[in-house]
Every structure is written in structure tokens, then in C-alpha cells.
Structure 1
């Protein structure tokens, strides 16, 4: 099936959770598919944890990793014992929790450098180990956002990673597939909206197939979920186990519609859709995630980095992390602030023409 999805006879495939946090957990389903079909597969993840697991804003840097074999500035081989030390605190990236269950090594990717530098380094790795294909997995489907959606608040990691993968595709010639696991399960974009975006992209001949977890995949996923910290990927599992209806996540500040379709991963051809992913195109020349944040902010798009910096300030003054309700209010406040800034800019811009 992997051969059909990718469109060639694949020997080895790199499967990457592109959105940071628990995306690597949802990616384990596609990884299992590759392994079960006798492919050489490596599981990778963008190293950027949610604030509940890591209070320091921004991606984990490879220099902060322990029990990892670092090569270059942005990549490291990691395993079940890998952790990071960030401002004196021990942070276990979710990929380490996953690898401790599947008993394998994996690839940690730090997007702390420019899109181009990270892409160059990843390309060298892909060429060196002869990967025929890369499948980047986003749990929830924010990666398909246009930027103006109401529920959207963490588009940076996804769009940065897609920008990187798009350059890796150019540099290496490897096939790059974008997988959307569990449309809407992260409580940002609504499920029906994500499915509509997948349909739009399918109309450009970009739909490569879909895969739902088998009983074997679910047994592995269940083991992983006992170790890993992730709400969204947990909902993919619950959906596959037959839960349907609404479920609250992020301390019930977000509502997710779940049914059996929420367990499916949809695969898209990155080359055919990249021109329809405006946020990835906006950050394609970013020098680092902070630079990307400023670019997105200038278009009125809020990012998780805005939110993490706010949370960090809160933590520094109050020595505790905000409650889900407080976090929700912070997000609303950041969004409103950006909206009025953009409004102001366009008014000023407009007035210079008179």
C-alpha cells in the first residue's frame, strides 16, 4: 500500500511528525504500515513540545539533548532514553516516549535554524541513508490552514516544517507526501473544514489514498499512549475504538467532533499542493521561527510562539502555568491584538494613498 501511496517501489521511508508535540504519536500509524510492509522505516519528529511539557518558548535545540547522537546543527539520532535540558529543566520529547515503546532509534529534527539550513541538513541525511520517500504527518490538519480561520492558533511548526520538506524535495528528488491524521482532532480547525480542504486539494489530483489503523496498529498506539503526553493523537485512538460525538480537549476549552473518520490518515502529494499552502510559502525564507512568527503576525496570523512567550511571561511572574481557561483567554487576547494591529497598518497604508 505504501508503494501505491507514494507511487513508486519504495525501499526505505522516513515518517516525520511535523507539528511538534504529540504529532509523532499519530505518525506511528503510518510508520507501522511501512514496517508491516517490509520497508526500512525511520520515525522522526520535529522537536517542539507543548507548554505543559516544556515552559521554554520555541523549538528544542539539538545542543540541549542528552542521550542523543547529534549530527550537524539541527539533527540528532534519538531513542527511548533521550531527553532535553532546557533552562535547567528536564524535558522528554514525545518521540522519546514513542521510541521507548517501539524499541527503535529515531530522528529528532530541530527547526531552530533557517528553513534553508534545516532543509540542507535534512537533505544530506536523506541522501546519505538513501530514503526514497518522506511522509510528513500533521495530526489535526492545521497545516492546510489559509491563515484567516477562527480556531487557528498554532500554524507555525506545521508551516515551517512543510517549507523545509518542500525544499528537501527540491534538493533530493525524494517523494514527499503530506499526511493528515485525524482531521480536526486538535480542536483548532473544524473537522468538516479540514475535510473540505482535503477535497479541494483532491480536485487538483493531489489525493494519494488513505489509511485507517488496523488492530495491530491500535495495540501499538495504545502502548504508546500509556507513555506519551498528547490529547489530539489520543483522540485518533478513541475514534478508532468507536467513540463518536463531541469531546472536550485543552481543559474543555475546545470541542472536537469525533467519529470513525477521525481515525483515518489522508495522504496528499506535497508537490501538487504546495502552492495552495499560503502559510508555508510565507515562511519559506524565514531565518528562524521568530522571524517566521513576525512574518505571520504581520498578516494577522497568530502562532504558538506568540502564545508560548505569553505563557512564559506568566510563568515567570506567577511561578505556575496558566489554567486552560487562562490559556484560552490569552489566545483570544493575542488574536485580537494582532487583528487590530493589522487593521491599523492597513488604515495607515490606506491613508498614505490619499
Structure 2
């Protein structure tokens, strides 16, 4: 049997899709994960999502859908985690290209469903911001999820919407999401995280890292992103809920507005009008700032005192854990320095590594 999982926001949703495939489906099932190549500036210095024209070595599946094999490469200066995911996980990663708007994504979905004739189709969102109305003050990245929802609702095949780790993306709170969620279909366990444990050592997704951590029993408050958003790590974290697809569309104002769009520019215009911003604009502005920011050397002797100060301040905010992305940005280091920083910290203070998160020292030194 073939199973199709549509990763609503790309990035970490694709990693979680791989974990759920191993958990929810038979070992004999073949899983195709349809996902955006949108890794944010930590990996890809070019703002916005990548399309097929940004890669070499893709494998054509249908006229508008290509798989990203391990041998594929993003064309510089773009970056992408998809080829490495394809190399390390036993699934097919197909490229969701948003540049033709919701109509283009719908066409991709229809072609893939017709070609694969999948036994099931799941639309997966980690965190739950796909259920946002669009005017929530905490909303940070509504565009990708709304676009996927708008397209999926137009596909002539049954689709199940799954929300994993309610609230773990730091956009809608668990309290706001709780009345919107349907029944819990599963609660992930530490054993079920193992198939992606190696990926979590290098993949930058914060929401998926927290999902895995809560499945492993980590509890507390995790600070994420450059803004330092606090995210509660609770017993709700590992749960996967089903939500009615039509009800989600009924809530998501942006998704309803963009259903007939034929370009990403149109989708962005609606996002600015309805949500007050486009997350790609935010990436453009941030990319410009980073370009003009002088490079900071990763000084081993300076890092640990800087970390101590950061941890001391975080303790005052009630924070117990954080991500390596957050530490990298808090120390004003470049995204390319995340992995060396991570290795340095784990080697220096291994007792604080609660994979894949960093636990604040009880008493910062």
C-alpha cells in the first residue's frame, strides 16, 4: 500500500510525518511525504520557499511533481534539508511548489493522488497554527499552512487532518487549541521517536524537537526562535489529534481567501491584508539585516560565559529548556555556526543535553 502525507508547513512537519509513518502505518506500506522546501534562514539564506527550479537532480513523478532524492542539490546560494532527509529516511520526499498559488498546489495534489492511488491521505501540521483565524497576535507563520489547507480542501479524495503536538510551534496556545481539537488518535512514545533520533541531531526544526522531547518525558518551558517565545512542555505535547478538514477551512480566513490564487505573490498579498504581514517579508528583512551584520567568530572561551549570562536571564523568565537555534541567535552567531556551537556545548556540559533540547543549568556557573 502507498500512503500519502502532506506536510502542511514543510520543514519539521516533514520530519514528524516520517515519524508518524513508522508509527501509524504497516511496515510494508510505502510512504510519500509531500512537503515544501522551506527551511528558513538558519539553513537557506534565500527568503521564502524553494521551487523545482531551485534544485538539480530531481526525479519527475508527474508533470508537476518531482521527488527530491539524496543526490539532489539546491542551487547556490539556496539551501535545503530535503536531500539529507531523503538519504537518512526510508520515505519518498516529493516537492510541494507554492509558486503557482493554491491552484498550482491543488494541481500537484490531484496529479499525485491520481498517480499513486494512495490508501490514505493525511494532512499533518505540527503545533496547530493551521487552525488559526489569521488575526491572532501570536501568529507568526500562517502562509504555508493556509496554502496547503486551501489546496487540500479542493482535492477530490478523502483527507484526514492531523495536528501533532498542540501548541508546540509557539503560535496558538494549548488553551486556545484545546476546544478545536478532535479525538486524540495517538500519543507518541520515546520508542516511536527513535526512527528519527539521528535526524533530530542536525535538523533545525524547533517544534519537532519539542515534540520528540515531550514524547521522551521532558517537561517544563522551552524558549524558542529569535524572539524567545516560551512554549510549555506538557503531557499534551506528544499527542496527535484528528480535526475535521472543513471545520479547519471554516476557521482559517486566509485559506478561504487564497483558494483561487495562481501565484505566490497573490498569496502573500492576501496574507498582508488578512493577517497584517507576510512571513516571507519578515525573512526578507531579516536576511538583509544578517547580510549587513558583521560575522562573529565562534570563540570557545567566550561562548560559555555568554551561555551562563543567557541561562541566568532565562531562569528569571521561568525557562527550563531551549533549542540550539535559540542559543545560536541569542549569542548573535550565524546560522551556519549552529552545529559547531551545539557540539561545543554538548562536549563541554554533556549533562545539560536532553536530546534534542538544551536544559538550563540548575545554577548557571
> TM-score, length-normalised on structure 2?
0.75
Q: CA separation in 1, counterparts of 2:244 and 2:3?
A: 15
- The answer to whether the Cα contact below 8 Å between 2:127 and 2:163 also exists between their aligned partners in 1 is yes
Deviations 1:195-218 (CA, angstroms, capped at 9, x unpaired):
2332xxxxxxxx364212244421
Residue 52 of structure 1: SS of its match in structure 2? helix
Q: CA separation in 2, counterparts of 1:140 and 1:308?
A: 20
1:314 equivalent in structure 2? 289
Are residue 161 (structure 1) and residue 144 (structure 2) matched?
no
1:197 equivalent in structure 2? 180
Residue 137 of structure 1: SS of its match in structure 2? strand
Q: CA separation in 2, counterparts of 1:258 and 1:127?
A: 40
CA-based RMSD of the aligned residues comes to 2.6
Of the three residues 102, 106, 115, the one matched with 1:119 is 106
Of the three residues 25, 33, 42, the one matched with 2:15 is 25
Residue 194 of structure 1: SS of its match in structure 2? helix
Are residue 235 (structure 1) and residue 235 (structure 2) matched?
no
Are residue 131 (structure 1) and residue 118 (structure 2) matched?
yes
Are residue 150 (structure 1) and residue 137 (structure 2) matched?
yes
- The answer to whether the Cα contact below 8 Å between 2:35 and 2:94 also exists between their aligned partners in 1 is yes
Q: Give 5+ residue unaligned stretches, structure 2.
A: 297-325, 333-365
Once the two structures are overlaid, the 10-residue window that deviates more, 150-159 or 271-280, is 271-280
Are residue 92 (structure 1) and residue 99 (structure 2) matched?
no
Q: CA separation in 2, counterparts of 1:320 and 1:281?
A: 43
2:255 equivalent in structure 1? 280
1:253-268 aligned within 5 A: 253-268=228-243
Of the three residues 39, 52, 55, the one matched with 2:45 is 55
How many positions carry a matched residue from both structures? 302
Q: CA separation in 2, counterparts of 1:75 and 1:180?
A: 25
Q: CA separation in 2, counterparts of 1:119 and 1:220?
A: 31
Residue 275 of structure 1: SS of its match in structure 2? helix
Of the three residues 126, 131, 141, the one matched with 2:128 is 141
Q: CA separation in 2, counterparts of 1:148 and 1:232?
A: 21
What is the CA-CA distance between 1:109 and the residue it aligns to? 1.1
Structure 1's 80 and 246: CA in aligned 2 closer, same or farther, altered over 3 A?
same
Once the two structures are overlaid, the 10-residue window that deviates more, 238-247 or 222-231, is 222-231
- The answer to whether the Cα contact below 8 Å between 1:13 and 1:133 also exists between their aligned partners in 2 is yes
Structure 1's 74 and 194: CA in aligned 2 closer, same or farther, altered over 3 A?
farther
Deviations 1:124-161 (CA, angstroms, capped at 9, x unpaired):
12111112432111111111111111210110001011
Deviations 1:268-326 (CA, angstroms, capped at 9, x unpaired):
23134322322210221222222112112123432311211212332444476998469
Q: CA separation in 1, counterparts of 2:266 and 2:67?
A: 27
Of the three residues 217, 222, 230, the one matched with 1:247 is 222
- The answer to whether the Cα contact below 8 Å between 2:132 and 2:252 also exists between their aligned partners in 1 is yes
1:179 equivalent in structure 2? 162
Q: Give 5+ residue unaligned stretches, structure 1.
A: 1-10, 199-206, 328-354
Residue 261 of structure 1: SS of its match in structure 2? coil
Q: CA separation in 2, counterparts of 1:254 and 1:140?
A: 14
What is the CA-CA distance between 1:255 and the residue it aligns to? 0.5
Q: CA separation in 1, counterparts of 2:218 and 2:189?
A: 16
> TM-score, length-normalised on structure 1?
0.77
Are residue 210 (structure 1) and residue 185 (structure 2) matched?
yes
What is the CA-CA distance between 1:33 and the residue it aligns to? 2.7
- The answer to whether the Cα contact below 8 Å between 1:182 and 1:265 also exists between their aligned partners in 2 is yes
Q: CA separation in 2, counterparts of 1:15 and 1:91?
A: 23
Residue 262 of structure 1: SS of its match in structure 2? coil
1:304 equivalent in structure 2? 279
What is the CA-CA distance between 1:245 and the residue it aligns to? 1.5
- The answer to whether the Cα contact below 8 Å between 1:13 and 1:34 also exists between their aligned partners in 2 is no
What is the CA-CA distance between 1:233 and the residue it aligns to? 0.2
Q: CA separation in 2, counterparts of 1:143 and 1:82?
A: 29
Deviations 1:68-105 (CA, angstroms, capped at 9, x unpaired):
213567521112333311xx325123x33333222343
2:303 equivalent in structure 1? none
